Every structure is written in C-alpha cells, then in structure tokens.
Amino acid sequence: MIMIIFGSLTIRHLHQSLKRIAPSTIEIINRQPLQRRKTKDQQLIGMMIFQCIYFCLLSIPLSINWIYTSLKSNSEINALQSAKDDMFVQIVGYLSLTCACTNFYVFTLTSQLFRRELINLFKF
C-alpha cells in the first residue's frame, strides 16, 4: 500500500512540476495531444501497480517464513523437518532478492513507453 501511495504521489508531483515550468515550455507541452499524455500516465500507473503486485508476491512468502519460524521456535523438530525448513528459507530468500534485481525486465515487459525510451537511449 505504501508503494502505491508514494508512486501515486510521485506521478502527481510530475504533473504539478510540469505546470511550474517556464511559459515557453508549457506552450510546447500543451500542444501535445491530451490523449498522448493520458497514455503516458496510464503506462506509468500500470508499471507502478505491476511493480507493487510483483513485489508483494515475492515478499509475502518471506513474511510467512518469518511468522512460521517464530511460531515453531519453541517446538522440537527432527533433522528432516529442519532440512525442509532450511530449503524453504533458501528458496524464499532467493525469490525475495530477485524482486530488486528484475525491475528493469518487468518495466521492459509492461510498458511500451519504457521500451521506446530504452531504444532511444541506445540510439544516441
């Protein structure tokens, strides 16, 4: 929820900062079709929502593991159960780490705007 709130505030800030730019620049921005600006906003919001969902899906198992570990800390477990728990911890840990590493790929897959800007970056 906090990611969505701050992402929405960031997009709102972008809109407000465009209104504060020098008048000559505002005229150029206002010439852009309204539909094009709405498309950019929709893509930014889509990227933000997808990133939040992606982050939640990869972070929830880690939280569940911490809760499970804290509940099972007083009980006695055998070697097999301990090995299963350790394997689950390793898998969940790697999944939660991939979330931070794969944002580039997620953005590339979800936004045509991001792909276009990436291609323009490599052209220059």
Q: Which residue did the predictor score with more confidence, 94 or 12?
A: 94
pLDDT at 87: 92
User: Is 2 a domain residue?
Assistant: no
Q: Which domain holds residue 48?
A: 33-123
The answer to the question of residue 10 being in a domain is no
Task: Assess if residue 27 is contained within a domain.
Answer: no
Q: What mean pLDDT is reported for the chain?
A: 79
* Per-residue pLDDT reduced to its tens digit, 22-47: 555 555 555 556 667 777 777 777 77
CA distances, 66 to each of 43, 48, 70, 85, 116 (Å): 35, 27, 6, 11, 41
Any domain includes 20: no
- Show Cβ contacts of residue 11 under 8 Å, excluding neighbours closer than 6 positions: 41, 44, 45, 48
> Which residue has 């465009």 as its token pair?
18
Q: Is residue 23 part of a domain?
A: no
Domain count, the chain: 1
Rounded Cα distance, 124 and 122, in Å? 5
* pLDDT of res. 19: 63
- Per the domain annotation, does 1 fall within a domain? no
Does residue 65 lie in a domain region? yes
* Residue 26 within a domain: no
